[in-house]
Amino acid sequence: MVLACSLSPAAAAPVPIDPSVLEAEQTMVEAIGRATPSTVAIFAGDSGGGSGVLLTRDGYAVTNFHVVQPAGVAMTCGLPDGHLYDAVLVGVDPTGDLALIKLLGRDEFPCAAVANSDGVEVGDACFTAGNPFLLGTDLQPSISVGIVSGVHRYQFPAGTILEYTDCLQVDAAINPGNSGGGLFDAEGRLIGINGRASFEKRGRVNVGVGYAISTNQVRHFMGVLRAGRICDHATLGATVATSADGRVVVSDILESSDAWRRGLRYDDEIVSLAGRAVRTGNAFKNVLGTLPAGWQVPVVIRSGGRRRELVVRLASVHSAADLKGLAAEPEPEGRRPDPTPRELPAAVRGLVEQRQGFANAHFNRVERDRVAASIAAARDAGPTGPWLLEGRLGTGEAFRIELTDHAATIDIPTGTSTLVTSDDFDRQPVPPGSGGLLPALVLWRRLVLEGPAALGHTIYWGTAPRDPTAFQVGTPSDMVDVLESSVSGVELHTFIDGSGRVVAVDLWTQPGTDPCEVRMAWAEGAPLGSLPTRIEARRGGDEFATFLIGPVPAEMGP
């Protein structure tokens, strides 16, 4: 039987489309148009490739560690402008599956607008942009649209070193080759870096469960990555478990940890970490996984029914040797590695420096020189010669500190202490009880007047929160540069703000002990290069002294 049909003129008429649908479609098209120029296609020759996203105008792009690991220090990248660019490895985070590369060949690159990933909610529209299966031979990224399926997900390492913490789960397609590319919100702002996905056992095809590293985690690690380092993640030095009544409590703790020295003990409840409430063991791991080792963060605990607020210095998850092994380029499967060194592209030569503990020490030198220039600019307006700091302690007594090239002296009510700068500082932790205040002040002055080169072995460490007590995950923080120095038997961390001022100094006379922590402050409107008007010295969470610098009021007497 043959059926025949015909369409009447009325049936053939176009069906009206709701204007709101067209408007939503146009909004998504515009958002994709804003996001795609920053999308990077990464080609690593025989080693495959993946995706990335540009974060800065000068060409820094972030991707996955597992994308760049087989490629080594040099790779080729394509942009939607239709051009190929040489790129060089900068820094890697083997545990967090992040890597930073720098594209070369342009003075200015398009870069993504970055959103606060803590503002993302389940059900939000999102899209991925990248190079799945390396299909983008015309360098135009593939786009997949979906929704956010979950937030603050924790993904166990599952037989690898890659630990996805506090990540975003999406149903937008993430396939092999999408790794390292951007996850964007409905406005075209970057909210994550695509990485892990749950695949079927055969074919490695997307099944609608993908995970992206949050942009807030990327923000936390950007300073350490730009330092050219092999980054490590943080540990509190303690493990947690869920008690019978549902509290997250300390189940084990290292007595060598800073958390132990601050007073954290077995069975103490972790109420919040870095400003975020901790209600499950995974929530605890989520916060730690977004933080670099070495940062200080606030921890709220409940011990013996009493609420306490601590500031804890986070330790490293891995040893230096372990990190080196994690970041090593994998050997080719089924054949011996080629002993012949790869010839670097001409554009990359001179931008690579191999040094133990670094992914690329060249960029550490670049960042150290940048900070040195900012310190020098601030120094031009500051005092030279001996420095004299006089005034009143916070308790009202007079003090006097004199710092010169050869010696330093401090007069406080408990006595007078002198330091000779030609002797090792670890043998002179004066004044008593301070942990080394005078050495810290001497090295502060030396850095300001002579620059980082005067502090012996000095590297650019990265960035850290200026005020650890106020740091909260998901809240923008004032970040400062950090230099790490080994000089005269001590370890020194100096914190420098964007104007070139040294705003804080931490000095260790012995490893594994509490440092002397010195914090500087200036009166509002104080000229750049002037000496601070307030210095606070602490050790082990206890105040040693607060120095209020300035003329002593006549009514206070001598």
- Does 66 participate in catalysis according to the annotation? yes
DSSP state of 519: E
> Rounded distance, CA 51 to CA 44, Å?
11
Q: Shortest CA distance to 440 belongs to which of 506, 527, 519, 365?
A: 506
For residue 446, the SS3 value is helix
Amino acid at 149: S
Cβ-contact 382, 448 below 8 angstroms: yes
> Rounded distance, CA 495 to CA 481, Å?
6
Q: What is the 3-state secondary structure (H, E, C) of 274-312?
A: CCEECCCHHHHHHHHHCCECCCEEEEEEEECCEEEEEEE
- Residue pointed to by tokens 């929530």: 283
Amino acid at 351: L
| Burial status of residue 393 (CB atoms within 10 A of its CB: 0-12, 13-18, 19 or more) | middle
Structure tokens at 102: 């720098």
Chain Cα centroid distance, residue 529: 28
Structure tokens at 132: 């799945």
Cβ-contact 99, 67 below 8 angstroms: yes
Active-site residue, selected from the candidate residues 66, 220, 233, 493: 66
Active-site residue, selected from the candidate residues 142, 179, 257, 477: 179
- Residue pointed to by tokens 């009880």: 433
DSSP notation for 185-254: ETTS-EEEEEEEEEE-TTTT-EEEEEEEEEHHHHHHHHHHHHTTBB--BEE-SEEEEE-TTS-EEEEEE-
- Residue pointed to by tokens 């191999």: 354
> Rounded distance, CA 77 to CA 60, Å?
12
How many helices (H) and strands (E) would you count in the chain?
A: 9, 31
- Residue pointed to by tokens 């996955």: 64
Q: Which helix (H) or strand (E) holds 157?
A: none
What phi and psi values does residue 64 have, to the nearest 5 degrees?
Answer: -90, 150
For residue 267, the SS3 value is coil
Q: Which helix (H) or strand (E) holds 334?
A: none
- Does 179 participate in catalysis according to the annotation? yes
Q: Enumerate the β-bridge partners of residue 84.
A: 78
Cβ-contact 407, 549 below 8 angstroms: no
Cβ-contact 314, 235 below 8 angstroms: yes
Chain Cα centroid distance, residue 149: 26
Q: Shortest CA distance to 59 belongs to which of 440, 363, 345?
A: 363
Active-site residue, selected from the candidate residues 86, 97, 171, 268: 97
- Does 46 participate in catalysis according to the annotation? no
Enzyme catalytic residues: 66, 97, 179
